[in-house]
Amino acid sequence: MYLKELTLLTPNRVIRALKFKNGMNLIVDDTPLGETKTTGNNVGKTTVLKLIDFCLGAKSKLIYTDDENQKQTYSLVKDFLFTEDVRVKLILSENLADPAAKEVSIERNFLTASKAIRKINGEDVLAKEFEEALERQLFPDKTVDKPTFRQIISHNIRYKDTSINNTTKTLDKFTANTEYEALYLYLLGCRVVDGERKQVLTAKIKQEEMFKKRLEKVQTKSAYEVALTLIDAEIGRLNKKKERFNLNEDYEQDLEELNRVKYNLNKKSSELSKLMIRKELINEAVTELELEHADIDVVALGALYQEATHNVSDIQKSFEELVAYHNTMIIEKVKFIAQDLPKIEAALGVCEVVINSLLENEKTLAEKITKGNSFEELEKVIYELNEQHRQKGEFETVIAQLETVETEIATLSSEIEKIDKNLFSEEFESKLKGQLEKFNKLFSTISFKLYGERYALKYDIEEKNGRSVYVFNAFNANLSSGKKQGEIICFDLANILFSNSENLPTFNFLLNDKKELMHDNQLIKVARFVQENNVQLVASILKDKLPETVLADAHIVVELSQKSKLFKIEAR
């Protein structure tokens, strides 16, 4: 797919209509050369890229908030977008040179609830289904849930600092290595059996490890075990001391019964607390998964899918089957994560009943003992014994919970090991190396042509907590420092050409910001390369940083200035 047109409009007028062509497309400032009082900054060049990203599923707030400080809002822009009900319409085409080529139209506005506009080819789409609907339209041959549509296109859209400065780490800073592993294996055309299952198991292990970390917030398991040994010894010493008191038989029995009740009460209270924590973590995980459930109007979208099957003959699954498959996967994940909930609920009920009973016994025994005669020293011993029994009950509960967590982590890790047995087998790794060799032929050829250096993509197998993961990184094959911007643009171009050669889903366009960081010679070569290889490069750049050759040959999408900013708010 190529970018064809981006239109900004309100219900009453068209604000701007931006058209795109093959090759180099520039979004520049119209600041006169030699002008010192005005600049080409903050006129909306980068916002054009953000608006395209918005149409492809990005959050609306990125248009009117500061990239570095999300709490800082550009009130003038936000108010304009909401008050005027600004819509953004993006048209993509499979072939810009063919008027009859398949096109996809995407339209969104910034309002919410019933006033929100979210359309694909004129059809309304729910917010929770928008990304999935985009994927079906733009990547109809994609058959796996992971990586996601947004993850795959992250290499095509670079305007955030993270993606501008990193070749392979294009997702947010909280992304796990297993997510990147799935992304790059997919981009290299290596289908992973149970790859999504591995991510579910990894998330479950992370949840268990977080619970274990909470339990060990004060001390480690071994420290609790040592402390428990010391508590048992102290209880024995205090019991012997208590035996030296000459008390009647009923008093002794009551004291022992009270100690037993307090011990059990504290133990059950601690157990109840830990069960509540586990229930809360499971419910949080289930809620996150249920948000991914696809509740699609099959009848309404049936015609759309029939059109897709008519245009793409290789689709072997019906639309209903794909939706059912996706929802079944979600249900299975929820079942897997929530399978312990009934047991936890039952255990919570039992705990509450036992605790209420123990509280009544404690109250009765305490009242009975206080009516009897006791010595001051005996009361001190009893207090110390109660405290020791309380700590013993708490420590034993924590140790039991830790043992359960460790067993669960071991079980989940064993399942991951079975998956990794295939993922890291000689057969799979041999296929990966073959695909990587084909990719690097393109990557090194492009980088040598544009920069006179040879870049390559490599992988390492890293292990953490006994689990393996593929970690991918780009590097300079000449072992020199090279240029990061050159590495990134060469990687993205190689990714497009490789994906097309392997029939993998991809866009044939790149959105790049701050291309003034590149040297003039490289800009000239890149412009020529994208034109020759039928790739779109849409770059927002300061006009005075552009070589004359590039400026003359490229397609100028729009020229902006302090007097004519993107949304033309200054003209109102």
Partners of residue 118 on adjacent β-strands:
108
Q: What is the pLDDT of residue 411?
A: 81
Q: What is the CA radius of gyration of the chain?
A: 32
The pTM assigned to this predicted structure is 0.67
Can you give the pLDDT at residue 37? 42
The closest alpha carbon to 443, from 484, 403, 493, belongs to 493
What lies within 8 Å, CB to CB, of 502 at 6+ separation is 189, 435, 438
> Tell me, what's the pLDDT at 16?
96
Distance CA 72, CA 98 (A): 44
Tell me the H-state helices in 25-123: 45-55, 75-83
State the CB neighbour count (10 A cutoff) for residue 3.
Answer: 24
Q: Which residues pair with 108 in a beta bridge?
A: 88, 118
Distance between CA atoms of 179 and 368, rounded to whole angstroms?
Answer: 63
Alpha carbon separation from 131 to 106, 128, 135, 137, 142 (Å, rounded): 12, 7, 6, 10, 13
CA gap 275, 278 in Å, rounded? 5
pLDDT at residue 292, as a whole number: 62
Tracing tokens 């040592």 back to the chain, one arrives at 226
Is residue 101 helix, strand or coil?
coil
What is the residue-level pLDDT of the chain in tens, covering all 572 positions?
Answer: 999 999 999 999 999 999 999 999 999 987 655 554 445 567 899 999 999 999 999 999 999 998 777 678 899 999 999 999 999 999 999 999 999 999 999 999 999 999 999 999 999 999 999 999 999 999 998 878 888 999 999 999 999 888 888 999 999 888 888 889 889 989 998 877 566 677 777 778 888 888 888 888 878 888 888 889 999 998 988 888 777 665 545 667 777 888 888 888 888 888 888 888 877 877 877 787 667 655 555 555 566 656 666 665 555 566 566 666 666 776 776 677 767 778 888 888 888 888 888 888 888 877 776 655 455 667 788 888 888 898 898 888 888 888 888 888 888 877 777 777 777 888 888 999 999 999 999 999 999 999 888 999 999 999 877 778 899 999 886 654 447 778 899 999 999 999 999 999 899 999 998 776 677 788 889 999 999 999 999 999 888 888 888 888 889 999 998 888 999 986 66
CA distances in angstroms from 135 to 128, 144, 210, 329, listed in the order given: 13, 11, 33, 17
Please, which residues have CB within 8 angstroms of residue 280's CB and are 6 or more apart in sequence? none
Residue 365 is predicted with a pLDDT of 78
The pairing of beta strand 23-29 with beta strand 123-124? unpaired
pLDDT at residue 293, as a whole number:
58
Q: For 535-551, b where at least 16 C-beta lie within 10 A, e where not — what string?
A: bbbbbbbbbebbeeebb
